[in-house]
Amino acid sequence: MAEHDPVKTLLEKTEKAGVAMLATTDSGGRIVSRPMAIQEIEPDHTIWFITRVSTTKIGEVTGSQPVNVTVAEKGFWASITGTATVEGDVERKKRYWSKTTEAFFGESQPEDSDIVLLKVDPDTGEYWDSPGLPATVVEVIKGMVSDEPARPGESNTVEL
C-alpha cells in the first residue's frame, strides 16, 4: 500500500482549486486579501500568479514580508505561508497567457512591463480535507453518541 504524502495532497488539491486568496500586509499593518488565479505549483512547491506591477499588492510583497495563500474548495481548505517576489520572465508569462488571462488584462500582452509574475516560496502549509457531507454527518453523529471524538476528515501541517 502506498504511503500517504500530506505535502502532495496539499499542493495538488491547492493547484486543482485554481483560485486562491492571496493575503499580504499593507503599510499600515492591515492584512489585505484578494482572489488570484493560480498559474502553476511547481514540484519544488513554488506557487505562481500573474498580475500587474501597478497593483498595491506588489508594494506589499517587497522586502520579504510574509504572505498567505488560502483555498476553500468542496470539502478542502488550505493555508500556505511563505514569501513572495516579483519576476518579469517573459517566456513564463507567455506560457501562462490564455484567453482567460486576456479577459483580466485587456489589451496588455505578456511582453508588457506592467505584467509581472508573483512567485510565492512557501514555508509551511496546513490543510483540512473532508470526505464529503454524508461521511462528515456520520462522523459527527458517531461523536455525539459515543465517547470518541468525531473525525470528519484529515488535517495536516507540513513544512514546505
Could you read off the pLDDT of 104-135 as tens digits, one per residue?
A: 998 999 999 999 999 999 999 999 987 655 44
Q: CB count, 10 Å around CB of 76?
A: 19
* Residue 111 CA to its chain's centroid (Å): 25
64 three-class SS: coil
Q: 83-120 burial string, b = 16+ CB within 10 Å, else e?
A: ebeeeeeeebbeebbeeebeeebeeeebeeeebbbbbb
pLDDT value of position 150: 54
Terminal-to-terminal C-alpha distance of the chain: 24
Beta bridge partner(s), residue 32: 24
156 vs 142, more confident: 156
Q: Could you tell me the pTM of the whole model?
A: 0.85
Q: What is the pLDDT of residues 40-97, one digit of tens each?
A: 999 999 999 999 999 999 999 887 789 999 999 988 999 999 999 999 999 999 999 9
**Which residue carries 468542496 as its cell?**
74
Closest listed residue to residue 42, CA positions, set 96, 112, 104, 3: 96
